[in-house]
Structure 1
C-alpha cells in the first residue's frame, strides 16, 4: 500500500505542517512563491509576532554594540589604525562564516519531521517565500544567543585588547550582510555593483539553489568552486509574480 503524499495547506499555519512532507520537503521549499504577503507560521499570535522583524532593527540594535566593543579596545590602548585593521579582519572572518553557514547549515538536507520543521524556521521559509520582508533578517534575540559562544571563542584565540574590536568587526560584517540581503531582495539598485549582487543572489533563489552561497560577496564561491553561471533571475521572479 502506497502512503498518500502530504499536501501543505497554505491557508493554515505552516511550521507544524512542513515536517510531514518527509523527503518531498527539499523539492517543496525550492519551488518559491513570490509574494510580499508572508505566510502564517503559528496559530499563536505571540509566537507569530516573534517571527517577524523589520530590517532596520538590525543596524539600530547592533551598530551601537559594535561601537561599544570597538571603544573598549581603544580604551585598552589600541590606536585607531590598529582598530581599523582589526575591524576589516573581523568583516573578512564574517564573510567566511556567512558562506559556510549558508552552504553547510542553511542548505542541509533534511527529511525527518523535526529536521524539516527546524530547517524551515531557519532558512527553508526564506526559499519558499523569498520576498517575505518581515522574515528576511535574523531575529535579534536569536543573534544575541549566538553571540555568546562567538565571544567565548574569540577570548580563547585572541588577546584581551584585540578581542573586543575583533568581535565588533565580525558583528559589523553581520550587520552589513543582513542589510545587504534585505536590499538585494527589496531594493531597486541603479549602479552596477548592487545590481550585480541582486542578480547574483536571485540566481541562487530562482535558478541554481545549490550554488552561489555568498550574499555580500562572491569571493568564497570562487575559492570553493560554487560559483554559478549567472543569467537574469529577475525576469523569472517577475514572471512568477504575475502567475
Structure 2
C-alpha cells in the first residue's frame, strides 16, 4: 500500500512500486503538482480516502487556491437566475408553457445521462502519466482522496461558465431558436440539482428513506466499490448500463 507523508494522517505502509519510484506525497504541501509523480501508483493512492472535513492545499498561489474552493450555496445563487433567464427567453419568443415545461424536463433528463457519462468515462479514467494524473486529480481524484472536503464538493463556477459555452452551442445546433433556451435552462437546472444533491449526500443527515438510501448508495461508491455506482441523483443509468453495485453480502463473499 502507499504512504502519505503527513503529521496529521495515518496511512498504510509504502508499496514496492512507491519505493521503486522513490516518491512520497507530502500532505502538508500543495498537492496538485505532486500527484503526477506517482505514475502508475496514482490509481492506488487516490482511492485510499482520507476522511477529514479539512481539505488539502492545492496550489502555492493564493489566487489559484481560491478558485478551487466553492461553498455549496454559491451554485444555486449563481446558476438559478441563469436558468430563469433562459426560460424567460423562450417565453418571450412565444413558446407555450406546456412546451417550455416539456423542454425543461427533457433538459433535466439529458443532464442525468451526462452526469452518469462524465462520472464513469471521464472522472474515472485510468491515468499514469504526470499530466494525466494531475488533470484527473483536479477534476475528480481530489474528491475520492478527500471525500469530505466541503469546499471541493461542487464544481467551481468559473470552470462551469467556461464549459457552458460549448454546451450552449450544441443545444442551439440540435434545437430550434425558441426551444434552445428552455432546453439549455433545463439542463442547467439538472446540474444545479446534481451539485446540491452531491453536497447533501456527503454532509447532510437524511431522515426519510429515499435520500437516506441515496446517501448510502453514493458513499458505497466512495468507500467500497469505486468502479460502480456512478449515478449521483439516481441509480437509473447504473441499472440500464449494468454498473449497479452488487449487494453487501455478495461483495463480502468474493
- Over residues 33-79 of structure 1, what are the superposed CA-to-partner deviations in whole Å (9 max), with x where a residue is unaligned? 00001001111111111110000000000000000000110111111
Out of 82, 90, 100, the residue aligned to residue 73 of structure 1 is 90
- State how 1:1-243 maps to structure 2 within 5 Å: 3-231=20-248
Q: What is the match of residue 7 of structure 2?
A: none
Contact 1:23 1:110 in 2 (8 A): yes
- Over residues 101-122 of structure 1, what are the superposed CA-to-partner deviations in whole Å (9 max), with x where a residue is unaligned? 0000000001000110011000
- After TM superposition, the runs of 4+ consecutive aligned structure 1 residues lying more than 4 A away are none
User: 1:151: how far off?
Assistant: 0.7
Question: Alignment partner of 1:144: what SS?
Answer: helix
After superposition, the CA RMSD in angstroms is: 1.2
Contact 1:180 1:215 in 2 (8 A): yes
Instruction: Please give the TM-score of this superposition, normalised by the length of structure 1.
Output: 0.93
User: What is the aligned length?
Assistant: 231
Residues 166 and 60 of structure 1, relative CA distance in 2, 3 Å threshold: same
User: 1:4: how far off?
Assistant: 3.5
- Over residues 86-110 of structure 1, what are the superposed CA-to-partner deviations in whole Å (9 max), with x where a residue is unaligned? 1110000000000000000000001
Q: List alignment gaps of at least 5 residues for structure 2.
A: 1-18, 250-254
Of structures 1 and 2, the one with the larger relative CO (CA 8 A, separation 6+) is: 1
Q: List alignment gaps of at least 5 residues for structure 1.
A: 233-243
Instruction: Determine the C-alpha separation between the residues in 1 that align with 2:66 and 2:248.
Output: 37
Contact 1:203 1:231 in 2 (8 A): no
User: 1:80: how far off?
Assistant: 1.2
Contact 1:99 1:220 in 2 (8 A): yes
Instruction: Determine the C-alpha separation between the residues in 2 that align with 1:81 and 1:71.
Output: 14
